[in-house]
Amino acid sequence: MFGRREPVPFAFIAEAERFRSNVTPPPRERATAGQIAGRCLLGLTVVAGLVGSLVIGTPALSTDPSGTGTQQSQATDGR
């Protein structure tokens, strides 16, 4: 049950390491000018979104040590 009784042909494994195909894949198509422009536009959009979120989010993350930026809500005025 533990051992195999019939011989196992390992020739196909050794042969697979030496096998080289004589069929070459077709050459890749060159990107058209529209595709290149679209990729550049998409990249610029992503970068602009990241920079914009950084510019908008930075003031919210900064602390104001002078205290001039504190606001008092109307609920604490007693009105």
Rounded Cα distance, 79 and 73, in Å: 11
Helix/strand/coil (H/E/C) assignment for every residue in the chain: CCCCCCCCCCHHHHHHHHCCCCCCCCCCCCCCHHHHHHHHHHHHHHHHHHHHHHHHHHHHHCCCCCCCCCCCCHHHCCC
Summarised one tens digit per residue, pLDDT across range 42-53 is 999 999 999 999
Residue 18 is encoded by which pair of tokens? 């030496």
What pLDDT, on the 0 to 100 scale, is given for residue 10? 61
Rounded Cα distance, 44 and 63, in Å: 31
Average pLDDT over residues 48-68: 83
Summarised one tens digit per residue, pLDDT across range 8-37 is 566 555 555 556 677 888 899 999 999 999
Task: Answer yes or no: pTM beyond 0.85.
Answer: no
